[in-house]
Homo-oligomer: A and B are copies of this chain.
């Protein structure tokens, strides 16, 4: 049993980590922090875990964290995570950071989209925690940057295309739709129930959303060419789930069947990725709800020749906390799927 901790346990990604860790056969949650709930039992802060844990919440104390745990999950807002991560890594603990702080390799790019970076010296060793791309590097590092929720769905949907040289780098569009939990647990006017119920809207379109730079960074590495992404996020009136509809022009003509083969081959040994052939039903967010799966349907519009890929994840699992566990399984030498075999709740 590996002793682990969660910094910032009461937000949605923190809660989701608790849910997964309490069912994980090789992880023991021994440390959890929150400013607001310091001194309270975890099950009072998060009553869904009533009767399942006796842990008390405390204020973050890095040396206490280092004493009690081997690995810590950071669920802090961007800009707040970087110094804590640096301190914990300095104390010899392994850190899985769910913020954006170590996702962008180039500090200047980070600064442009997010603001100043106080720990740029850590960037070279931080590993972008998408196991499907970086499986080999994750076990070695002490600092994993868990990908953003949108980038996870988009990068996994474009990966085989980018790597195969099929992707016209100037043609990349990601039209993504997300459940509301992606915006966090803090109530605000636009996420008030009566404003979202029965509604659907776009936000931060046309080059504004911060996840854009993360998608571009990874797709550029994978394809070896400078990829520019037009990214359009939308808000679905559901709690969980991301469905991304991806568009690209192929550099040479391709059929849907060839694409399906390409994706199947590339992802043949991936435990969490399922490829839907042309005869299969298209993916939907409810079939991945609560699971670490990514379901992908590659298609080609026969009339226009354009590639259209549907990619579906649960934003809180494969898009955040499940992916964090998948990375830590790799870091700890555990089977990658351990504690992550949840089935979707349907209906």
Q: Which residues of A contact B (CB under 8 A)?
A: 12, 15, 19, 22-23, 47-52, 170, 173, 175, 177, 179-181, 185-189, 191-203, 205-207, 212, 228-230, 232, 234, 236-241, 243, 245, 247, 256, 274, 281-287, 289-290, 299-304, 306, 308, 310, 341, 343-347
5 further contact pairs, Cβ within 8 A, besides A202-B243, A202-B310, A237-B237: A19-B345, A206-B308, A229-B304, A232-B308, A240-B347
Please, which residues of chain B bring their CB within 8 A of the CB of A207? 301-304
- Closest chain-B Cβ to A271's Cβ sits at a distance in Å of 9
Closest to A196 in B: B193
Q: Is B290 a contact partner of A345 (Cβ separation < 8 A)? A: yes
- Closest chain-B Cβ to A337's Cβ sits at a distance in Å of 11
Please, which residues of chain B bring their CB within 8 A of the CB of A286? 195, 198-200
Q: How many copies does the complex hold?
A: 4
- Closest chain-B Cβ to A339's Cβ sits at a distance in Å of 12
Q: Is A19 a contact partner of B343 (Cβ separation < 8 A)? A: yes
Please, which residues of chain B bring their CB within 8 A of the CB of A289? 198, 345
In the complex the two chains form, what is the Cα distance from A202 to B306 in whole Å? Answer: 17
The 21 sampled A-B contact pairs (Cβ below 8 Å) are A48-B346, A50-B274, A177-B234, A185-B194, A186-B192, A187-B187, A193-B239, A194-B240, A195-B347, A197-B197, A198-B239, A198-B240, A198-B289, A200-B285, A200-B286, A201-B285, A202-B310, A206-B299, A206-B300, A230-B308, A234-B245
- Closest chain-B Cβ to A264's Cβ sits at a distance in Å of 13
In the complex the two chains form, what is the Cα distance from A195 to B23 in whole Å? Answer: 23
In the complex the two chains form, what is the Cα distance from A42 to B341 in whole Å? Answer: 18
Please, which residues of chain B bring their CB within 8 A of the CB of A234? 177, 243, 245
- Closest chain-B Cβ to A24's Cβ sits at a distance in Å of 12
In the complex the two chains form, what is the Cα distance from A197 to B241 in whole Å? Answer: 12
Q: Is A284 a contact partner of B201 (Cβ separation < 8 A)? A: yes
Please, which residues of chain B bring their CB within 8 A of the CB of A241? 198-200
Closest to A51 in B: B274
- Choose one: B198, B201, B256, B347; the contact of A206 (CB below 8 Å): B256
Q: Is B245 a contact partner of A247 (Cβ separation < 8 A)? A: no
In the complex the two chains form, what is the Cα distance from A43 to B186 in whole Å? Answer: 28
Q: Is B197 a contact partner of A180 (Cβ separation < 8 A)? A: yes
Closest to A20 in B: B343
Among A52, A186, A230, the one with the most B-chain Cβ atoms within 10 Å of its Cβ is: A230
Please, which residues of chain B bring their CB within 8 A of the CB of A188? 187
Q: Is B205 a contact partner of A232 (Cβ separation < 8 A)? A: no
Q: Is B199 a contact partner of A284 (Cβ separation < 8 A)? A: yes
